[in-house]
Structure 1
Amino acid sequence: MPTQSTKRGGGGAEGDFQLEDSPGHLLHRAQQRAADMTAQALRAQNLTPRQFAVLMALSQNEGVTQSELVRRTGVDRSTLADMLARLSKRRLVITRRTEQDQRANAVRITAEGQRTLDEAAPKVVDAERRIVELLPVDQREGFLANLKVLADSRR
């Protein structure tokens, strides 16, 4: 429930807006906290949380196109292209033109990429467990369900 406005003098344009009650601000802060915990878990593999997400999507979807990776991970096209170039230099992924559409790139995780992912995944699972454990037990399932609703870009 929003708190009472605590305007100090002058009456600004903010009206009844309270930063500590802002869904956008709170989601951003929660995401920063989760990203920090996940980044710490991935440090040994020299991966970022988004690189981990890309490798996981590739592991679960053999030969997916870059366009499909954008949809599955939420990483924008230009960032994904740069990320794939870096992962390719590390021999974690391979990118090739598709036979069906020579304008499209199919991306595949390499054996080295899969080994890196396999080493990182338990650490990420542990970090995400610790994130969710910050919530009361009876709110965890609903929280995850609500995040899925908010993250669903088709709504």
Structure 2
Amino acid sequence: MIEASAMPNTSDTYDVTQQVGHMLRKVYQRHLAIFNERASPTALTSVQFVTLCILRDLGDCSQAELVRATAVDQATIRGVVNRLKARGLLELKKDAGDGRKVMMALTDEGRILLDAMYPKARAISEETLIHLNPAERIALSFLLSKMMGDAPSSQD
């Protein structure tokens, strides 16, 4: 953990290893390595997993809705959807209200895989947070939400 006194206060001192973006990237890389190891029997990537979770949580979604809910760009989500469809984990269908609109829906196979994956996902989160005590975990979750603009700020 970086203490405020450890942060450089001059504009000509810059240690990239102490910058928030670098540290977040390293933590994310560690998390992805844990995910890939623990989820390997399912052959799901983390982006595929979140896409299936969103479909389960929200129900049928358009591609645009998936982009918003997953925070994955349009080109990437298109490839994710194609791969999940090829595996029989989601299906495409016409929107009941607008026949021109294509909706993504979780298949029964997708639901079964998610049911099997949820305990693994909890273990992945646990291993990612292993070095944090319960209070630090709550603080991290709050701070990450705040950084994303989702948590109320103390100035509100």
What RMSD in Å do the two structures reach over aligned CA positions? 2.2
Identity in percent:
25
* Mapping for residues 73-84 of structure 1, pairs under 5 Å: 73-84=70-81
| 1:108 aligned partner | 105
Over 3 Å counting, the alpha-carbon distance change for 1:150 and 1:3 in structure 2 is: closer
Which stretch of structure 1 is more off in the superposition, 93-102 or 59-68?
93-102
1:127 aligns with 2:124: yes
Q: Is the 8 A contact 1:3 1:18 kept in 2?
A: no
| Matched residues, number | 147
1:49 is matched by which residue type in structure 2? S
Q: Is the 8 A contact 2:8 2:14 kept in 1?
A: no
Cα displacement string for residues 54-90 of structure 1 (whole angstroms, at most 9, x for unaligned residues): 0011111111211111111111111101111111011
Deviation at residue 3 of structure 1 after TM alignment: 4.7
2:88 is matched by which residue type in structure 1? R
- Using the alignment, how far apart are the partners of 2:99 and 2:90 within structure 1? 19
Q: 1:48 aligns with which of 38, 41, 45?
A: 45
Over 3 Å counting, the alpha-carbon distance change for 1:103 and 1:18 in structure 2 is: farther
Q: 1:143 aligns with which of 134, 140, 143?
A: 140
| 2:14 aligned partner | 17
Q: Is the 8 A contact 1:41 1:120 kept in 2?
A: no
What TM-score do the two structures reach when normalised by structure 2? Answer: 0.84
- Using the alignment, how far apart are the partners of 1:22 and 1:46 within structure 2? 33
What TM-score do the two structures reach when normalised by structure 1? Answer: 0.85
Structure 2 unmatched ranges of 5 or more: none
Cα displacement string for residues 101-146 of structure 1 (whole angstroms, at most 9, x for unaligned residues): 4453211100001111111111011110121222233311010111
SS in 1 for 2:114: helix
* Mapping for residues 80-99 of structure 1, pairs under 5 Å: 80-99=77-96
* Mapping for residues 29-44 of structure 1, pairs under 5 Å: 29-44=26-41
- Using the alignment, how far apart are the partners of 1:117 and 1:34 within structure 2? 19
1:58 aligns with 2:32: no
2:42 is matched by which residue type in structure 1? Q
